[in-house]
Amino acid sequence: MKRHLISAADLSRDDALLILDTADELAKISERSIKKLPTLRGRTVVNLFFEDSTRTRISFEAAAKRLSADVINFSAKGSSVSKGESLKDTALTLEAMGADAVVIRHGASGAPHRLAGWVRGSVVNAGDGTHEHPTQALLDAFTMRRRLGPLDGRKVTIVGDVLHSRVARSNVLLLNTLGAEVTLVAPPTLLPVTVDSWPCEVSYDLDSVLPKSDVVMMLRVQRERMNAAFFPTEREYSRRYGLDRDRVAKMHDEAIVMHPGPMNRGMEIAAEVADSPRSTIVEQVANGVTTRMAVLYLLLGGADLGGEIQ
């Protein structure tokens, strides 16, 4: 495995399967009464969050703590960033404190990549702008594999705001590596212009894709990133691309419904669908801790790969 996890494209098929297999073993730890392993004792993991996050930050924190690493949480609010400190200076501060891994969420696409050149430790991308969110893709793949078995040839449909979604991009890359067939469904205005070069199919009609899907992943409509009129009204979006009871009825019996959270209930997904047994939304959160433990273990658990500062 590489020293950093910046993009889902960094992972070969073997790397990805190693992470998923490791997570499978680590999942048992959360069933034990002592949910802790001594593996990363004495290592420091810094959570560097420039953007709001609930589940990802807590999930990384829980994962690091279960492996006995020391965790330092840093959020941009109330830090020197609000006094105008640059990312590089923040990175140098972390470097001086001896961080073995930096988990970074940043509003700017590419920030983790820049950071990786400034620190000696491993950098884990926890979401950068509209670019990537590789650990989300890993936990999604892990959740699918637990429900459906191996992903080769499985049909995964990702629906919604692909344009602003780092989750969609990471998922397309990783699922393709793992042999699944991905179809993106979205209004044309919410697809990136380069989508033709992605390893996936594209459709504008949800109803025709649903019966063939093993997994339907709904994306959040990211209102905070919507600075133009991407669709006429929320009601119309919901009618054409929302997952309601009637649409779920078209899916085959074993198919599952996923959502990376946070959900807009009633918008992209109906409340009764989100709470149905097909939905893996709560499992995804639990699996997030396990998958991130696997990532931290594989990046930090072995010999120091001796990164150079550029």
Q: Which are the catalytic amino acids?
A: 55-56, 83, 105, 133
Q: Name which position in 9, 37, 195, 285 contacts another protein (CB under 8 A).
A: 37
Residue 26 interacts with another protein (CB under 8 A)?
yes
Q: Is 157 annotated as a binding residue?
A: no
Of 23-31, 79-87, 141-149, 222-230, the segment contacting another protein by CB under 8 A is 23-31
Q: Is 153 annotated as a binding residue?
A: no
Residue 30 interacts with another protein (CB under 8 A)?
no
Q: Name which position in 2, 9, 15, 18 contacts another protein (CB under 8 A).
A: 18
Residue 299 interacts with another protein (CB under 8 A)?
yes
Of 108-116, 238-246, 251-259, 293-301, the segment contacting another protein by CB under 8 A is 293-301
Q: How far apart are the first and last CA of the chain?
A: 20
Q: Is 177 annotated as a binding residue?
A: no
Which amino acid is it at 254?
Answer: E
Query: How many residues contact another protein, by CB under 8 A?
Result: 22
DSSP the chain: --S-B--GGG--HHHHHHHHHHHHHHGGGGGSSS----TTTT-EEEEEESS--SHHHHHHHHHHHHTT-EEEEEESTTSGGGGT--HHHHHHHHHHHT-SEEEEEESSTTHHHHHHTT-SSEEEEEEETTTB-HHHHHHHHHHHHHHHS--TT-EEEEES--TT-HHHHHHHHHHHHTT-EEEEE--GGGS-GGGGGSSSEEES-HHHHGGG-SEEEEPP--GGG--S--SS-HHHHHHHH-B-HHHHTTS-TT-EEE--S---BTTTB-HHHHTSTTB-HHHHHHHHHHHHHHHHHHHHSS----PPP-
CB of 6 to another protein, least distance (A): 18
Q: Name which position in 25, 205, 207, 272 contacts another protein (CB under 8 A).
A: 25
Of 26-34, 55-63, 186-194, 246-254, the segment contacting another protein by CB under 8 A is 26-34
Residue 301 interacts with another protein (CB under 8 A)?
yes
Q: Is 247 annotated as a binding residue?
A: no
Q: Is 143 annotated as a binding residue?
A: no
Q: Name which position in 97, 271, 282, 305 contacts another protein (CB under 8 A).
A: 305
- For residues 25 and 236, which CB has a smaller minimum distance to another protein in the complex? 25
Residues that bind another protein (CB under 8 A): 1, 18, 21-22, 25-26, 28, 32, 34, 36-39, 297-305
Which positions make up the binding site for carbamoyl phosphate? 55-56, 105, 133, 136, 261-262
